[in-house]
Amino acid sequence: MKCRVCRGPAIIDIRRHNANFCAEHFLKLCRDQTAKAIADFDMILPGERVLIAVSGGKDSLALWDLLLEMGYDADGLYLGLGIGDYSDDSGTYVRAFAESRGARLIEVDLRAEYGYDIPTGARAARRAPCSTCGLSKRHLFDRAALDGGYDAVATGHNLDDEAAVLLGNVLHWHDEYLGRQLPVLAARNGFPRKVKPLVRLGEREMAAYCVVRGIDYQVDECPMAEGNRHLAYKDALNMLEKRSPGAKHDFYFGFLARASERFRTTIDAEQDALLECERCGAPTPSEICAFCRLVEKAAGAQPVTITTRGGAV
Amino acid sequence: MKVLLRNPRREIDVDGPVSVNTLLERLEINRESVIVIRGDELIPADTVLADSDQVEIRPVISGGAVDTQVRP
């Protein structure tokens, strides 16, 4: 295979672009696609400060690397989730990356600062682990961004993530979630701006980017995510992508162009009706926000230990 | 050749020579869901692997708490 740009030896084929790329031009493609997403959706303006939610996985570390390479003022925020060895290893990858780039890393440890970890919180609150994790991340990323005076929170959600979430929301017709599924959510009512600069890049490209750039990342899947529906949606979409290259891109960007606006009105009304949490001040539809209720339920709970297969004992 | 697979981590032996594409088809792995690495380098689908090669087939799919747009 030869690079589409320079005709040198290719290292990767990207079938939805019907093209192969050498290392140099593959990295350029990743930077160009990230820059296009930022520009097309007005994600980050010149001079703004960005807080990147980093997990130690390929997407968030690639995003951090890309934004630093592109000259953005980008700090990282890592949450210690307390998911056994998986979290220990993930933290090691994040710290090593930050040190290698001389980048600023903020760390928040759930157990030390809020008295729970994801396995324990999930059991105490009777929520699915991924739901408990998502709730914790959303709340703490928002708080850190507002407290630190950042202009935006950037996450490593890529095209595969967005297409899979869209598939799940369409399958079950979650109107309220469809209204929020945008590459940018503007700051309002106590929420910071949320941006997803990797929406034009696939999961395979992000893994390849890390290999080419020499970025070590957490390759293993989170032991608590095993068997979740989101992974099944990704498998289904990859089967379609194999038969019809570009299917994921057309699905997601077609939704943004042709349908997303139809789901916006209910969301605007819902957000205008939010109250302030009586304990932490975060926006919430009830008196106490979901995060504070989680912390309350998990307080004093017997710690849950994760087995190597993701079970909790 | 030695082929490293992940989730769960395991190593299998496969006879070469064989192209990356054919290897993935034999193992019934969707090429959209992995990258293939030899040494420290990515290798494209038409690369022919020798009996003496050691390669990693690395999954790229990650899941979990991705619903960060759900509020509040």
CATH code of the domain containing A119: 3.40.50.620
* pLDDT at residue A293, as a whole number: 95
Collapsing DSSP states into helix, strand and coil, what is residue A109?
Answer: strand
pLDDT of residue A310: 52
Residues in chain B within 8 Å Cβ distance of A289: 72
Question: A18 contacts in B (CB within 8 Å)?
Answer: none
Partner-chain contact B66 A230, CB within 8 Å: yes
**In this predicted structure, which of A102-116, A143-157, A173-187, B48-62 has the lowest mean pLDDT?**
A173-187
- Residue B8's pLDDT is what? 83
- Residues A211, A89: Cα–Cα separation, whole Å: 18
Strand partners, A77: A53, A106
Q: Which residues of B touch A204 (CB under 8 A)?
A: 32-35, 60
Predicted local distance difference test score (pLDDT) of residue A230: 87
Strand partners, B20: none
pLDDT at B69: 42
**What is the rounded end-to-end Cα distance, in angstroms, of chain A?**
50
CA atoms within 13 A on the CB side of B57: 29
Q: Do A283 and B71 touch (CB under 8 A)?
A: yes
Q: What are phi and psi of A250, to 5 degrees?
A: -65, -40
The region of weakest confidence among A50-54, A84-88, A147-151, A221-225 is A221-225
Give the mean model confidence (pLDDT) for residues B16-31.
94
- What H or E segment, with its residue span, contains residue A269? helix A264-272
B60/A238 touch (CB, cutoff 8 Å), yes or no: no
Domain extent at residue A79: 34-312
pLDDT at A226: 74
- C-alpha A37/C-alpha B50 separation (Å) is 40
Question: How far is it, in rounded angstroms, from Cα A123 to Cα B3?
Answer: 38
Is the confidence at residue A239, as pLDDT, over 80?
yes
Residue A301 lies in a domain: yes
pLDDT at res. A109 = 96
* Cα(A73)–Cα(A91) distance, integer angstroms: 22
Mean pLDDT, rounded, for B41-53: 94
pLDDT band at A303 (very low <50, low <70, confident <90, very high): confident
Instruction: Give yes or no for B30 touching A (CB within 8 A).
Output: yes
Check CB contact of B72 with chain A, cutoff 8 Å. Answer: yes
Label residue A211 by pLDDT band (50, 70, 90): very high
Contact list in A for residue B44 (CB cut-off 8 A) is: 1, 10-13, 20
Q: Residue A275: closest CA among chain B residues belongs to which residue?
A: B72
Question: Hey, is A273 helix, strand or coil?
Answer: coil
Number of domains forming the structure of chain A: 1
Name the pairing type of β-strands A49-54 and A152-154.
Answer: parallel
Q: Under 8 Å CB-to-CB from A127, ≥6 apart: which residues?
A: A121, A135, A294
In a domain, A26, yes or no: no
A27 occurs within a structural domain: no
Sign for the pseudo-dihedral over CA of A235, A236, A239, A245 = negative
Out of A207, A208, A283, closest to residue B72 by CB: A283
pTM equals 0.93
| Residue in this structure with the two tokens 């324990």, named with its chain if needed | A120
Q: How far is A102 from chain B (nearest CA, A)?
A: 24
Which of A132, A154, A180, A148 is closest to A66 using CA atoms?
A: A154
Check pLDDT > 90 for residue A225. no
Please report the pLDDT score of residue A311 as a whole number: 57
Where are the alpha helices (H) located in A81-202, listed in sequence order? 84-101, 110-114, 118-125, 129-147, 159-171, 175-178
Q: Is A293 a domain residue? A: yes
Question: Span A108-115, mean pLDDT?
Answer: 95
Confidence at residue A223, expressed as pLDDT on a 0 to 100 scale? 87
Measured distance CA(A26)–CA(A199) in Å, rounded: 16
Enumerate the residues of chain A whose CB falls inside 8 A of the CB of residue B7. Answer: 220-221
Q: How confident is the model at residue A229 (pLDDT cuts 50, 70, 90)?
A: confident
Least confident of A82-96, B7-21, B55-69: B55-69
User: What's the Cα-to-Cα distance from B51 to each of A110, B18, B39, B46, B72, rounded to whole Å?
Assistant: 48, 8, 15, 16, 54
pLDDT tens-digit profile of A16-33? 999 999 999 999 999 999
Residue B33 to residue A208, Cβ atoms within 8 A = no
Check if B28 contacts A (Cβ < 8 Å). Answer: no
Q: Which of B54, B37, B48, B52 is nearest to B3 (CA)?
A: B54
Give mean pLDDT, residues A49-59. Answer: 97
H/E stretch holding B20 reads: helix B20-26
Which chain A residues touch B48 with a CB distance below 8 Å? none
Percent of chain A, pLDDT > 70? Answer: 97
Q: How confident is the model at residue A200 (pLDDT cuts 50, 70, 90)?
A: very high
Domain membership flag for residue A3: no
pLDDT of residue A294: 95
At residue A300 the predicted structure's pLDDT band, cuts being 50, 70 and 90, is confident
The secondary structure of chain B in percent helix, strand, coil, rounded to multiples of 5, reads 15, 35, 50
pLDDT of amino acid B72: 37
Contact at CB, B65 and A130, closer than 8 angstroms: yes
The confidence score (pLDDT) of residue B70 equals 41
What CATH number is given for B2-55 in this structure?
3.10.20
pLDDT exceeds 50 at position B68: no
